[in-house]
A = this chain, B = another copy of it.
Amino acid sequence: MAESLAINGIDDSPRGRLLSAAAHLFRDKGFDRTTVRDIAASVGIQSGSIFHHFKSKEDILYAVMEEVIHFNTARLRDAMAAEATTKGKLRALIRAELQSIVGDTAEAMTVMVTEWRCLGEDKQRKALELRSIYEQLWLDVLTDLHQQGILKTDPFIMRRLLTGMTGWTPNWFDREGPLSLDDLADIILARVIGEQE
């Protein structure tokens, strides 16, 4: 049973508790190896009762992704708004994305990356539209830095490399270890704008 309150950016309603439990199980075992019986059991109901809240198992996966994209797009906006310089905005974006990926919404974010293809075509397209808003925030800042001459690499390529660097962190970063999230953000920032930390 996962703790569900505010974890993964999901509210504490009956539906929210189902989504949090699902996010936890999907990350642990993957979508295909998680049964609706698993999800039901982890919130203390029977498998048939799931389908009062969601039309299908795939709908649960889509809802997890939708919630986490919305939550983290807002987080990115807030983080940038507090910064005056473009370079400061980039550092804020990196910190916010790391926080999303290894922090409070880690389960749902990992699910979004790893279980993407378990969505049918229609829902993949809908989720991609939501993601493109999130991506545009990155591209605006990187393009700005490129025009200022601070970023030498092509902004689109740089965003791809950044996605790789941050997206892989759940596989190695230890939140209890000596390296802080802010330290890691600075290391990654230096990889982007060419300074040595």
Residues of chain A at the chain B interface (Cβ within 8 Å): 29-30, 32-33, 114, 117-118, 152-153, 157, 160-161, 163-169, 171-173, 179, 184, 187-188, 190-192, 194-197
Contact = CB atoms under 8 A, between A and B. Distances in A.
A165 B163 CA distance: 8
Contacts of A172: 160
A160 B164 contact: no
Given A152-B196, A165-B165, 13 more contacts: A29-B117, A32-B32, A114-B114, A153-B190, A153-B197, A157-B179, A157-B184, A160-B169, A160-B171, A160-B173, A163-B168, A164-B164, A164-B169
- The number of times this chain is found in the oligomer is 2
A103 to B, nearest CB: 17
Contact of A168 (B117, B118, B164, B191): B164
14 contacts: A30-B32, A30-B117, A30-B118, A152-B197, A153-B190, A153-B191, A157-B187, A160-B171, A161-B168, A161-B188, A164-B164, A164-B166, A164-B168, A165-B165
Nearest to A160: B172
A172 to B, nearest CB: 5
A170 to B, nearest CB: 10
| Max chain B Cβ within 10 angstroms of own Cβ: one of A32, A165, A173, A184 | A165
Nearest to A31: B32
Contacts of A169: 160, 164
Contact of A194 (B29, B167, B184, B194): B194
Contacts of A165: 161, 164-165
B194 A153 contact: no
Contacts of A197: 152-153
Contacts of A195: 194
A30 B172 CA distance: 23
A163 B169 CA distance: 10
